Amino acid sequence: MSDYETKPNTDLALNEGDTAYLYSQFPQIAEALIWPELVEAFRLHEDQARKLKTGSRRNSFASIVLIVMSLTLTMVATATPFAPLVEGQPVVAHAMSIAALLLLFGAILLGKGVLFGRKRDNWLKNRLIAERLRHLHFQYILANLHHMCSKSSVAKSRYFDKRAKELERVLKRLRNRGYRQAVLGDEVLQEARLVDARQIDHSSLDQECLEELQRYWIEFRFNWQAEYATQQLDRKPSALPLFGSLADQEHTVSTLEFIATLGIVVLQTVAVLAQLFVGPLSIEVQIAVLLASLLAVASVGLQAYKDGMGLSDDLSRNRVYASYTAKLVRDFRVAQEKGDGSGQIRIMQEMEDLAYFETREFLYTHSTARFSF
């Protein structure tokens, strides 16, 4: 029994063992499925995107924490219960003010670098190029299916003849400074097709080769994309997972928001009761109001993080993507049962349009995301 396990980007045969698996499962078409030059270009932009994303997320989280800490320190320093301590110790008051100011400056610097600086733009640029290269891999197969599965060995060789030129042409387009903006403004999906497709006479194709391609497409395009999106919707069994899928992160932030809101309601109730039974200026009222205010700041910080990271939008987008991909799989299998070759190709091309649409929506979400307090 094989101990081979798939890893991220196995759909591009990027990892050790991927090539051997393709030759084992799809021997007739494996050579055409492996595109070393594209993988090399993809790896370059994928690595850059991952590194920049990690830095952006870390800075974003730190920026939110610093703002919350700055506001918390300011509220504590100006709160009535702490007035005797602050007024009697001018050095403490000045230290707290300077600390709050430094925390705020740090938050602004980090936030500016993430939301309006070069780091976020470079992350999105590299993420877009990497995903578009993934699209090119599958679109090139569809566009050259008549060569890939031809009964003629001469025609088959043509499949490889123009790959280098196509990759060079597409990379030049993707790396153009204005390409990200072109995708952001692409309301009618004009940029979806990187390679022009053509009508195919299925009777002229090698049916055994075509059958392998269909199995490959179901495993590495339809199911692969659906499973990735579904993984983002799965939650860990732990109560508050800080890392993991989008669903994990969104659940954690939403739960903490709920706890903060519940705490505010409880503290507000305590403050009202203390006003009635102890006195409106009692220390109990002042402390309850202060704690409720601090929880409100924390709640706003959590909401700002969720909005700035686009967690809700990402989760919704992946839910739609997983559902529509599952529909395409069903349609594809129906077309297979009917022997409708043209219908199968049409659905495969529709999957490519859907993949581009998902990428465009991801780009739009994170290009327009803003932290707001």
pLDDT tens for each residue of 89-108: 777 777 878 888 888 888 87
Query: Mean pLDDT for the chain?
Result: 86
Cα-based angle 338, 344, 348 (whole degrees, multiple of 5): 155
Query: Which token pair is 138?
Result: 């599958």
Q: Is 259 left (phi over 0), alpha (psi -120 to 50) or beta?
A: alpha
What pLDDT, in 10s, does the model give residues 121-166? 889 999 999 999 999 999 999 999 888 888 777 878 888 888 999 9
The model's pTM is 0.84
Residue 2 pLDDT exceeds 60 = no
CB neighbour list of residue 108: distance below 8 Å, 6 or more residues apart: 63
Across the range 2-22, mean pLDDT stands at 86
* CA dist., res. 286 & res. 266, Å (int): 14
Task: Residue 152: name the closest of 206, 211, 197 by CA.
Answer: 206
Query: pLDDT higher for 206 or 344?
Result: 344
* The pLDDT value given to residue 207: 85
What pLDDT, in 10s, does the model give residues 202-246? 667 788 898 999 999 999 999 999 998 888 887 766 666 666 777
Confidence of residue 1 (pLDDT cuts 50, 70, 90): very low
Residue 267 pLDDT exceeds 80 = yes
Confidence of residue 4 (pLDDT cuts 50, 70, 90): low
Query: Which token pair is 362?
Result: 């991801």
Query: Which token pair is 136?
Result: 């090119």
* CA dist., res. 47 & res. 59, Å (int): 19
Q: Count other Cβ atoms within 10 Å, centred on residue 43.
A: 15
What sign does the dihedral 65-67-69-72 (CA atoms) show? Answer: negative
* The pLDDT value given to residue 174: 96
Residue 266 pLDDT exceeds 80 = yes
CB neighbour list of residue 313: distance below 8 Å, 6 or more residues apart: 365
* CA dist., res. 139 & res. 63, Å (int): 40
Query: Which token pair is 93?
Result: 């008051």
